[in-house]
Amino acid sequence: MNRRATRRALTVASAVVVTSTLLAGCADELPQPVAGEAFDGPVLTEEQDTQVFTAVAETVAKADKALSGKELKPRVTGPAYEVRASQLSVAKKRDNAEFVTEIPSESQQMIIPTTEGWPRTSFSITTATEDQETPRLVAFEQDSARADYKMWAWTQLIPGQSMPYFADSAVGSTAVAGDDDSLAATPVDALAQYADIVTLGAKKSSFAKGFELPDGDLAAAVAADASAWKEVPGFEESGTKYSQKYKARKDEVRSVRTADGGALVMGVLDGKATVKAEEDAKVPALSETQKALLGDAEQTNVLTTEYTDMVALYVPAKGSDEKIRPLGFSHVATAASN
Amino acid sequence: MLQRILGGVLVLLGLAAAALGVASATVWRDTDTVVATATPTGDGTLVVTDPGVLGLVGGDVTVSATVPEGQKVTLAVGRDVDVAGWVGNDPYSRVTGLSDWENLSVAAGEPADAEAGTNEPPESGPDPAGSDMWVAEASDENSVTLRWSDRPGRWTLLAAGVGEGAQAPTLELTWPRNVTTPYLWPGIGVGVVLVGIGAVLLVLGGRRVRAQRADAADLRSDGGPSDGRHDDRSDDERYDDPSAGARSPFGPVAPGAGHDPSHQAGATPAPTAEEADEPGPTREGDDDGTARDAAGTAEVPLAGRLLRRSRGSRRQSVAETSTADVPPTGDVARGDDPAPVAAPFGAPVAGPVPAPAAPHEPVPAEPTTATGALRMTRRELRAQEEARRASEQGSGMTRMLRAMTGSIPAVRPQESAPAGEAAPARPDTSTPAGRAAAWRATWGFGDTRTGQGTDPNPTDTDGENR
């Protein structure tokens, strides 16, 4: 009968509904983990980099307040630590922190690396200081995976120098090895050449033609040091000799690619300036820093001042029309001896 | 009947379907969360998830890690390279996915630098907390919870038991799950449709049955082939109450037609004539009864009994009414109207019929008075008796059943009013003498004894008649 058939169909239909409802709960397949796209961007987000910067600035501020180099340890390393610790000890001896480099705690540009391994170096350009000094270019380094980012170096930008363009912080910039040969000069070589220029002066150095030297760079500052000595009354007459030697550290080079294929290179030049007067003469410390560094040591006819200079260069890509340009430097006497 | 059964089944199925639909969205509904735990294996204090594990079930995951009492635990999320770099060559447990819906599969992690091999487990569990690389981290004693919303990239979780004698933490990942209820509305929809169809079938079936009952009731109570209560009444008047004929302009004709002496005489027993008079109802009613009986339901015979009963009572009232009206008919008897002539022929026939019924039938309802006996077939009398018994046995029950079957409106108006009116005028028909008196009264034979004095308007009737 027709109705009976209908009823049977309905029974079957409802049975299907019931069964599928009951099975629905158990039938889901286990999902398998799907690894997303591999990371190829910056190792830090801008936010994280800002946190790094803030952490460093806090640590530095704390050390500055205590005038204690040890306080820097958690967040400052390398040449930055050397210089800063020295500055702080000088400031402590002098009870005056006027020569301690001010490092603004705000960043205006972040250059974040894409390095997968360690160490990783990020750079940051700070804002101008409160008393309108030029911004600082700061390098942060994460030495190992379990280490924090620490301030590795800072330089004060040379007034009037334009910074090269960098990849956006969301894209990330590639680190450049110290011996990268895609550049006009490898970072290590560029630093060595610059050291030569600083030592000899632009006129005497054979490398000067490869550089575009601004007025206020490290070479000029070092020359000014020499001039200062030479201007001391009786310097020439007494037969006092002034000599200086600057040398780039080969293993302390940090470079990052710029947008135009060049590189920003930061490195350290160890400088030594020696003033040697005739025997029995006594060479006084010329600067307050030298005085503090010398301390109570008795004056002799020799005064050696050591500098730890952090420098930043722009090295163009190979074949570029541009020349190597100093971007910034920090010229700080870190030791003195008689 | 089949329709009603099918309707009921459909309604039940519909309710069941709807209930299942609702149940699938409530009691059988999957939990809103997937909770999976990972128990670390092997050495080390670190647990690392593979990329993609955090977003395995849903984008948002709540991770909680537990270590034994008194220890510190840290959770951190970072890029896979960063986590791998942080772990370095320390031994660790690797969470590779779900082994089932409640457990994560865990394997021993391979060292980052395969040549160097895995370090000895450190004496003190290193703390990943505070690294610049993590995008999310949490650290606490004993247990810690971290929420993570998945984002593009290979993000991995690092969990570490921290400090002296640390153990790798037990991980619990909880994902909210978007649970769908695909059977809720289809179930309810199917249910509603089934209930609707079932209800329609029920109503139709019910109506058909009621219609059958109503037909039967009409036909039986009419006592004639024609429908309507007017006919019912006129039938009775025609046969039972010759006085009606006196009132009606057709009066002389109607009784004559109804009680054609030659016809009745020819068809010796009145019942035969009676059956000839109402062939439709009798047969139909019987057919219906048989059909219903074949269907095997108890209701219908009961209802039929009720209907018969009501019919019987109606007839009784009619009979009584006519009995009350008897005196005027005495005029008819005086005249040469054929009706009275017919009576003698009918009387002997009717006489024996009510007699056996009398013992069983007490006072009420003696339709057999006179004409009632003439018109009634044996079948009808049987039905009448049945109905009476039914009414005597359980009037409360039958009333209830009547209410349930919805037959009240069809029955009540005829049942109550005339019966009430007729009651006082009821003659004593329990004795043969009484019955005979009633019969005589009905047909005007009691005229000489009862006299015309009881007739309220003999002259009017006579005048109209003649």
Q: What is the DSSP string of B352-395?
A: TTHHHHHHHS-SS--TTTTHHHHH--HHHHHHHHHHHHHHHH-H
Please list, in sequence order, all residues whose beta carbon lies within 8 angstroms of the beta carbon of residue B83, skipping any fewer than 6 positions away.
B48, B76, B156, B157, B158
> Residue B105 corresponds to which amino acid?
S
Assess if residue A40 is contained within a domain. no
Phi, psi of B156 (to 5 degrees): -130, 155
Domain tally for chain A? 1
| Distance of residue B357 Cα from the nearest chain A Cα, in angstroms | 47
How many CB atoms are located within 10 Å of the residue B417 CB?
Answer: 11
User: How far lies A187's CA from each of A202, A206, B286, in Å?
Assistant: 19, 18, 120
Chain B, nearest residue to A41 by Cα: B153
CA distance B56 to B99: 12
Query: What's the burial of B112, exposed, middle or buried (CB within 10 Å: 0-12/13-18/19+)?
Result: middle
> Which residues of chain A are at the B interface, by a Cβ-Cβ cutoff of 8 Å?
3-4, 6-7, 10-11, 13-14, 17-18, 20-22, 24-25, 28, 30-39, 43-45, 48, 51-52, 55, 116-118, 142, 144-146, 148-149
**Tokens encoding B451:** 């006299």
pLDDT, tens digit, for every residue of B72-114? 999 999 998 999 999 888 888 899 988 888 888 888 887 766 6
Angle between helix B378-393 and helix B279-295 axes, rounded to 10 deg = 50
Please list, in sequence order, all residues whose beta carbon lies within 8 angstroms of the beta carbon of residue A282, skipping any fewer than 6 positions away.
A299, A300, A301
> Residue A218 corresponds to which amino acid?
L
B185 chain-A contacts, CB cut-off 8 A:
none
Q: What is the mean pLDDT of residues B298-317?
A: 49
Chain A, nearest residue to B83 by Cα: A145
pLDDT of residue B109: 81
Assess if residue A16 is contained within a domain. no
Which of A1, A4, A14, A19 to mutate against chain B (most B CBs within 10 Å)? A14
B346 touches A at CB < 8 Å: no
pLDDT, tens digit, for every residue of B116-175? 666 676 778 888 888 899 999 999 998 999 999 888 888 999 999 988 888 889 999 898
Question: Which residues share a beta bridge with A110?
Answer: A124
Phi, psi of B184 (to 5 degrees): -60, -65
| Distance of residue A222 Cα from the nearest chain B Cα, in angstroms | 38
Chain B, nearest residue to A55 by Cα: B132
Assess if residue A105 is contained within a domain. yes
| Distance of residue B177 Cα from the nearest chain A Cα, in angstroms | 12
| Distance of residue A144 Cα from the nearest chain B Cα, in angstroms | 8
Instruction: Please judge whether B52 and A25 are an interchain contact, meaning their C-beta atoms are less than 8 angstroms apart.
Output: no
CA distance B321 to B261: 24
Instruction: Please judge whether A36 and B52 are an interchain contact, meaning their C-beta atoms are less than 8 angstroms apart.
Output: yes
B153 touches A at CB < 8 Å: yes
Assess if residue A35 is contained within a domain. no
Residue with tokens 């030298």: A290
Residue with tokens 């049945």: B386
Question: Which residues share a beta bridge with B36?
Answer: B173
Instruction: Please judge whether B133 and A30 are an interchain contact, meaning their C-beta atoms are less than 8 angstroms apart.
Output: no
CA distance B143 to B155: 22
**Beta-strand runs (E) in A185-260:** 241-257
pLDDT, tens digit, for every residue of B245-283? 444 444 444 444 444 444 444 444 444 444 444 444 444
Specify the higher pLDDT residue, B179 or A316.
A316
Are the C-beta atoms of A139 and A76 separated by less than 8 Å? no
B16 touches A at CB < 8 Å: yes
Residues with pLDDT less than 50, chain A: none
CA neighbor of A47 nearest in space, from A115, A107, A136, A129: A107
Residue with tokens 């009963």: B309
Are the C-beta atoms of B16 and B191 separated by less than 8 Å? yes
> Residue B269 corresponds to which amino acid?
P
B100 chain-A contacts, CB cut-off 8 A:
30
pLDDT of B391 > 90? The answer is no
Helix (H, G, I), strand (E, B) or coil at B92: strand
Please list, in sequence order, all residues whose beta carbon lies within 8 angstroms of the beta carbon of residue B390, skipping any fewer than 6 positions away.
B302, B305, B306, B309, B398
Query: Which among B30, B81, B190 has the least Cβ separation from residue A39?
Result: B81
pLDDT above 90: percentage of residues in chain B:
8
pLDDT of residue B207: 79
B178 touches A at CB < 8 Å: no
pLDDT of residue B447: 52
Question: Given the DSSP bridges, would you call strands B92-100 and B46-49 parallel, antiparallel or unpaired?
Answer: parallel
CA neighbor of A43 nearest in space, from B85, B194, B410, B434: B85
Question: Which residues share a beta bridge with A126?
Answer: A107
Which of A6, A18, A40 to mutate against chain B (most B CBs within 10 Å)? A18
Question: Given the DSSP bridges, would you call strands A175-176 and A241-257 parallel, antiparallel or unpaired?
Answer: antiparallel
**String of b and e for B43-69 (b: at least 16 CB within 10 Å)?**
bbbbbbbbbbbbbbbbeebebbbbbee
**Beta-strand runs (E) in B110-188:** 124-125, 136-141, 143-149, 155-164, 170-176
| Distance of residue A80 Cα from the nearest chain B Cα, in angstroms | 20
Helix (H, G, I), strand (E, B) or coil at B245: helix
**Tokens encoding A13:** 């239909």
Query: Which among A3, A34, A146 has the least Cβ separation from residue B52?
Result: A34
pLDDT, tens digit, for every residue of B189-226? 999 999 999 988 888 887 777 777 777 776 666 554 44
Which ipTM did the prediction report?
0.84
Least-confidence region, from B54-63, B128-137, B313-322: B313-322
B19 touches A at CB < 8 Å: no
Query: What's the burial of B115, exposed, middle or buried (CB within 10 Å: 0-12/13-18/19+)?
Result: exposed
Helix (H, G, I), strand (E, B) or coil at A295: coil
Residue with tokens 């307050």: A288
Assess if residue A170 is contained within a domain. yes
Radius of gyration of chain B (CA): 48
* Number of A–B residue contacts, CB under 8 Å: 117
Q: Angle at Cα B333 formed by Cα B329 and Cα B339, nearest 5°?
A: 90
B76 touches A at CB < 8 Å: no
| Distance of residue B102 Cα from the nearest chain A Cα, in angstroms | 10
Assess if residue A1 is contained within a domain. no
Q: What is the DSSP string of A301-324?
A: SEEEEEEEEEEEEEEPBTT-S--B
pLDDT of B34 > 60? The answer is yes
Residues in B 97-116 with any Cβ partner in A closer than 8 A: 97-101
Which of B4, B79, B133 to mutate against chain A (most A CBs within 10 Å)? B133
Please list, in sequence order, all residues whose beta carbon lies within 8 angstroms of the beta carbon of residue A149, skipping any fewer than 6 positions away.
A44, A52, A55, A56, A75, A120, A122, A140, A141, A142, B132
Q: What is the DSSP string of A61-106?
A: HHHHHHT-GGGGTTTB-HHHHHHHHHHHHHHHHHT--TTSPP--S-
pLDDT, tens digit, for every residue of B283-304? 444 444 444 444 444 444 444 4
Instruction: Please judge whether A30 and B97 are an interchain contact, meaning their C-beta atoms are less than 8 angstroms apart.
Output: yes
Instruction: Please judge whether A24 and B183 are an interchain contact, meaning their C-beta atoms are less than 8 angstroms apart.
Output: yes
| Distance of residue A120 Cα from the nearest chain B Cα, in angstroms | 11
Instruction: Please judge whether B183 and A20 are an interchain contact, meaning their C-beta atoms are less than 8 angstroms apart.
Output: yes
Query: Which among A52, A118, A146 has the least Cβ separation from residue B126?
Result: A146
- Domain of A82 in residue numbering reads as 46-337
B77 chain-A contacts, CB cut-off 8 A:
none
Q: What is the mean pLDDT of residues B60-67?
A: 90
Q: Angle at Cα A273 formed by Cα A268 and Cα A274, nearest 5°?
A: 150
Query: What's the burial of A270, exposed, middle or buried (CB within 10 Å: 0-12/13-18/19+)?
Result: middle
Q: Give Dmax over CA atoms of chain B in angstroms.
A: 144
Please give the mean pLDDT across all residues of chain B. Answer: 67
Are the C-beta atoms of A257 and A174 separated by less than 8 Å? yes
Query: Which among A25, A55, A145 has the least Cβ separation from residue B88?
Result: A145
A51 chain-B contacts, CB cut-off 8 A:
132
Question: Which residues share a beta bridge with B228?
Answer: none
Phi, psi of A115 (to 5 degrees): -60, 130
pLDDT of residue A89: 92
> Residue A285 corresponds to which amino acid?
A
Assess if residue A30 is contained within a domain. no
Question: Which residues share a beta bridge with A270?
Answer: A247, A308
CA distance B179 to B176: 9
Q: Which of A181-190, B165-174, B178-187, B325-334 has the highest mean pLDDT?
A: A181-190
| Distance of residue A35 Cα from the nearest chain B Cα, in angstroms | 5
Residues in B 205-224 with any Cβ partner in A closer than 8 A: none
Chain A, nearest residue to B136 by Cα: A48
Q: What is the mean pLDDT of residues B17-36?
A: 85
DSSP conformational letter for B160: E
CA distance A157 to B357: 134
CA distance A139 to A125: 9
Assess if residue A321 is contained within a domain. yes
How many CB atoms are located within 10 Å of the residue B25 CB?
Answer: 19
**String of b and e for A47-73 (b: at least 16 CB within 10 Å)?**
ebbbebbebbbebbeebbeebebebbe
